[in-house]
Copies of this chain bind each other. A is one copy, B any other.
Amino acid sequence: MINAGKRSGRPRAGEERLSREAILTAALRIVDDKGIDALTMRRLAATLEVNPMSLYHHLPNKAAVMAGLAELVFAGLEQPDPGDAVPWDEQLKDAARGYRNALRAHPNLALQVLSDTSAVSAVVVVVVEPFYRALDRAGLSPRQVFEAANTLVDFIHGFSLGEASVRTENFDLAPDLITRVEQLPAGKAPVLARVVGELGPEGLAYDFDSGFESGLATLTAGIAATRRR
């Protein structure tokens, strides 16, 4: 209790203990350390050694805290763009890897961010330029650029959702999938059962990195195919 003898009322000049930024930083720490459910206004205030109500002078409500977190995490995200030195598809893949890494940096927050339309569109608009640049270089029409970028972003979101869920729950995909397949009624999903059987536990030991690369390879190949028509 460093601040046990705290007084109420307005702090003296230069003594403000609270600011929007300080609140959001503390909130991000809670989310990263204890998960999204652990973030309550009361707990947040407690870690700042402040009355819960003090927060409301800097942020209007809890939703604003959430939105502020999304902003905090992604606003500073600058995509390192390899530029025209590499082929367009490498440029595109690099942009995708950067975006995935950004979403991965705060897995507890990612679930929240990806379910929040306005957070997503704020983030996407900041992040998407390298995608557009690469797709433009590939020779796509404006409409094709727009659609390909959307498809790629959707893939990254879906992938990151799975990745974040697994991270926050510490669960092992391969045994889970095998068990589930075994529990299905016999003959219900023959091809699935055969493929899973042929791959075996080693083959299914899911590696998120190679799964992501595989998706990128498929998507860039598909985009390249679209281009030539």
Contact = CB atoms under 8 A, between A and B. Distances in A.
Interface of A: 111, 114-118, 120-122, 125-126, 128-129, 132-133, 136, 142-143, 145-148, 150-151, 153-159, 161-162, 165-166, 169, 171, 173, 176-177, 180-181, 184, 188-192, 194-196, 198-199, 203-204, 211, 214-215, 217-226
- Residue with the highest number of chain B CB atoms closer than 10 Å, among A132, A133, A148, A203: A132
Given A150-B215, A165-B115, A166-B117, A136 B225 contact: no
Contacts of A219: 151, 218-219, 222
Contacts of A195: 132, 136, 142, 145-146
A163 B92 CA distance: 24
Contact of A115 (B117, B121, B161): B161
Contact of A189 (B129, B151, B198, B223): B129
